[in-house]
Amino acid sequence: MSRELILLIAGQSLTHACMAGMRLAAPLQALRQGYSEVAVGVLIALFALTQVFLALPSGRYADRHGLKRPVRYAVIAAAAGAGLAAIWPIFPVLCVSALLTGGATGSSVIALQRHAGRAAQTPTQLKQVFSWLAIGPAFSNFFGPFIAGLLIDGAGFRAAFLAMALLPIATWLAMRRATELPPVIQPPGERRPRAWDLLRDTTFRRVLLVNWFLSSCWDVHTFVVPVLGHERGFSASVIGTLLGAFAIAAGLIRVVLPMVAAFLREWALIFGAMIATGVLLGIYPLLQTPLAMGLCSVLLGVALGCVQPMVMSMLHQITPEHRHGEAVGLRMMVIQASSVTMPLLFGAAGAAVGVAGVFWAVGVWVLGGSRVAWLLRDDRKS
């Protein structure tokens, strides 16, 4: 692993850890101040909401200005968001903090992913780079909440918010040492780019679609497993272990992928992940013991954890170089919009057909969608 890639992983992890820690601390603070679960749900949604609207403009900005300028502005926004919560930890300020830290994290990730893709020289390197880079969020989803939780118990919420404000600053210290790549010149005579131009490409639409299918499966596991565990009388620690096993498996498979990247075909891995995910979602509600459910969570983590690096590799291969940032931003916009809306649909569906019905419906849905991944096989040949 090169020094440059280590810097990119560190930069992405630290900014993402800020948001992950805030996503734990801000709702807890709101609950302790007496706000309802509905208000807390809105607060949590705000972390993703900003990314929906900023993803595409952030991608275009990264295409024009490269790595360091977008990351610098993202660092300022994230540090300001967490810092405001440390100074005035009241609910309206916490909402502003959620918007700032969420949007900043999304913008910095887009710039970092675009830079990493441009630095790779071959399809194999693309798969390796994005496999290593995908380890960052898996680590930060543990590190940020862990540090925030320790500080909340030991020193209070203000200390936790202040610590989260320092993490983006550490990101900038890492990014200052990164090497800026030469700018990409837009071909002369080309009109101002529009997102619709990218969506006209059949392969691009199929890649986004399979990513949406599998991202929704990630959301259903995160949202429905706690409900299923609660129905069966599992303790909070057992439910947390089930979710933790899923996250650890998703992270570990990304450690393995770079070592075997030369032997992998993106479409085949994505197709296999969709088939495996559909089957596992069908089995999951039939399992009764924590051990069996934990094993199923691990297998789901392996299946879903290997998808993002393959999707990012394909996006960079099928998109013009001067629009890589826009393509990454469009992907993030779709994923974050799904993260905002799908839990609402899962909740409504769960009330109508039960938790098991949600698992089975999504399993059938993703199995049907696997045909889109199979069609990517023909796209890669053409």
Q: What is the DSSP string of 362-382?
A: HHHHHHHHHHHHHHHHHHHH-
DSSP code of residue 65: H
Mean pLDDT score, 10-30:
86
Q: Which of 370, 155, 303, 213 is nearest to 164 (CA)?
A: 155
Buried b (16+ CB within 10 A) or exposed e, 169-192: ebbbebbeebeeeeebebeeeeee
Q: Which of 215, 282, 298 has its CA nearest to residue 48?
A: 215
Select from 349, 372, 344 the least CA-distant residue to 361: 349
Q: State which of 67-81, 170-184, 305-319 shows the largest mean pLDDT.
A: 67-81
Do the domains 1-178 and 195-382 sit in the same CATH topology, yes or no?
Answer: yes
User: Among candidates 139, 201, 197, which has minimal Cα distance to 13?
Assistant: 139
Q: Residue 37: its pLDDT value, please?
A: 66
Residue with tokens 């948001």: 19
79: amino acid identity, one letter = A
Contacts of 132 (CB under 8 A, 6+ apart): 1, 5, 9, 254, 258
1-178 carries CATH number 1.20.1250.20 = yes
Contacts of 11 (CB under 8 A, 6+ apart): 71, 108, 112, 171, 174, 175, 178
The whole-angstrom separation of Cα 44 and Cα 54 is 17
Poorest-pLDDT segment among 57-66, 206-215, 231-240, 367-376: 231-240
pLDDT at site 382: 46
The segment with the largest mean pLDDT, out of 35-49, 211-225, 354-368, is: 354-368
pLDDT at residue 186, as a whole number: 64
Residue type, 309: P
**CA distance readout (Å), 377 to 195, 248, 273:** 24, 30, 14
pLDDT tens, position by position, 117-159: 887 778 788 888 888 888 877 778 778 888 888 888 888 889 9
- pLDDT of 185 above 60: yes
Residue 162 predicted with pLDDT over 90: yes
Residue 61 above 60 pLDDT?
Answer: yes
Which CATH number is associated with domain 195-382?
1.20.1250.20
User: pLDDT band at 343, cuts 50/70/90?
Assistant: low
Every domain of the chain and the residues it spans: 1-178, 195-382
Rounded CA separation 59/51 (Å): 11
If DSSP codes are grouped into helix, strand and coil, which group holds residue 354? coil
324 SS3 class: helix
Residue 347: which pLDDT band, with cuts at 50, 70 and 90? low
Residue 114 C-alpha from the chain's centroid = 15
Tell me the one-letter amino acid at 30: A
User: What is the four-CA torsion angle of 280, 284, 285, 288, rounded to 10 degrees?
Assistant: 150
For residue 189, what pLDDT is reported? 57
Decide if 108 contacts 101 (C-beta within 8 A).
no
Return the DSSP state at 188. Answer: T
Is the pLDDT at 191 greater than 70? The verdict is no
pLDDT digits (tens, 9 = 90+) for 240-263: 778 778 888 888 888 888 777 777
CB 348 within 8 A of CB 134: no
